[in-house]
């Protein structure tokens, strides 16, 4: 069975459906997405393997998922550090930042230096809506993630990758292959270029929405918000 994927256009449409007919707020969806990401990190990198997690946060919704994940990781006993250079003026993001500040989660300005003293990285820079050029200050950040030996978990898409065509042919991100990918709601076509551990998160999609967009809901177990799948889409 081939893994059923969701194009960038369909993913955006699905989000709109969830927030209109589905009656979800953006806060709820971001909270559930970030919770999924935090559970995937817990699964691949238990706190006993090293508690320091560096979260690279972009300017949009993908970054918001990262901020939520950092909060949950702090509550699990990790010591997250957040790199968030392009801060949103939006009230939702400012509240997510305040929640982290209240937990004494440090924000850092020097990503390469922070990378030297961490055990795991969460890449929450760009998601399914990314296209075009990687803007400053993110090229150096993506290059550093590409070179590091520290394991990297990407949220929804490895940052800089084209949603349909995978890693760029040259330049920033062309050699970036994260260890773990957490696909939110459903995998995107770029998964065919990804060879690491793959999780699906987003245990809030209704069967009707899954049917409308032509993908299968994974079989989540117990209270899990993520499920690990193999290259053909079978549950691991």
Which CATH number do you get for residue 72?
A: 3.40.50.10260
107 in a known ligand binding site: no
123 in a known ligand binding site: yes
Q: In this structure, is residue 63 part of a structural domain? A: yes
Q: In this structure, is residue 34 part of a structural domain? A: yes
Q: Which of 32-41, 82-91, 130-139 has the lowest mean pLDDT?
A: 130-139
Name the residue range of residue 96's domain.
8-229
102 in a known ligand binding site: no
Angle at 189 between CA 187 and CA 190, to 5 degrees: 95
Asked if the model's pLDDT at residue 129 lies above 90, the reply is: no
215 in a known ligand binding site: no
What is the rounded radius of gyration, in angstroms, for the C-alpha atoms of the chain? 16
Q: In this structure, is residue 236 part of a structural domain? A: no
Asked if the model's pLDDT at residue 160 lies above 60, the reply is: yes
Distances (CA, A) of 16 to 11, 12, 112, 168, 198: 9, 6, 36, 28, 25
List, as one string, the DSSP characters of 24-77: --HHHHHHHHHHHHHHHHHHHS-GGG--EEEEEE-SSHHHHHHHHHHHHHHHHT
Average pLDDT over residues 45-58: 98
Distances (CA, A) of 38 to 46, 72, 81, 202, 212: 11, 6, 14, 12, 28
Q: In this structure, is residue 127 part of a structural domain? A: yes
Q: In this structure, is residue 3 part of a structural domain? A: no
Q: What is the pLDDT of residues 206-215, one digit of tens each?
A: 999 999 999 9
Total structural domains in the chain?
1
156 in a known ligand binding site: yes
Tell me what the pLDDT averaged over the chain comes to: 95
Prediction pTM value: 0.97
Tokens of 50: 């090293």
Q: In this structure, is residue 1 part of a structural domain? A: no
């Amino acid at each position: 069975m081939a893994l059923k994927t969701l194009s960038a256009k369909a993913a955006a449409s699905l989000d709109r459906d969830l927030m209109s007919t589905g009656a979800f707020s953006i806060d709820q969806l971001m909270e559930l997405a970030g919770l999924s990401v935090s559970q995937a990190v817990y699964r691949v990198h238990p706190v006993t393997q090293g508690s320091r997690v560096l979260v690279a946060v972009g300017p949009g919704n993908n970054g918001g998922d990262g901020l939520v994940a950092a909060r949950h990781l702090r509550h699990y006993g990790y010591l997250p550090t957040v790199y968030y250079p392009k801060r949103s003026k939006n009230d939702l993001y400012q509240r997510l930042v305040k929640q982290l500040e209240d937990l004494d989660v440090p924000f850092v300005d020097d990503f390469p230096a922070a990378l030297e003293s961490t055990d795991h990285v969460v890449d929450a820079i760009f998601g399914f809506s990314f296209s075009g050029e990687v803007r400053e200050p993110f090229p150096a950040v993506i290059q550093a993630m590409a070179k590091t030996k520290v394991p990297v978990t990407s949220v929804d898409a490895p940052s800089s990758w084209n949603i349909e065509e995978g890693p760029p042919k040259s330049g920033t991100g062309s050699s970036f292959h994260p260890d773990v990918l957490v696909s939110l709601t459903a995998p995107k076509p770029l998964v065919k270029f990804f060879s690491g551990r793959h999780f699906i998160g987003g245990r809030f999609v209704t069967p009707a929405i899954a049917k409308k967009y032509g993908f299968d809901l994974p079989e989540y177990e117990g209270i899990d918000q993520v499920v690990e799948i193999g290259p053909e889409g079978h549950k691991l």
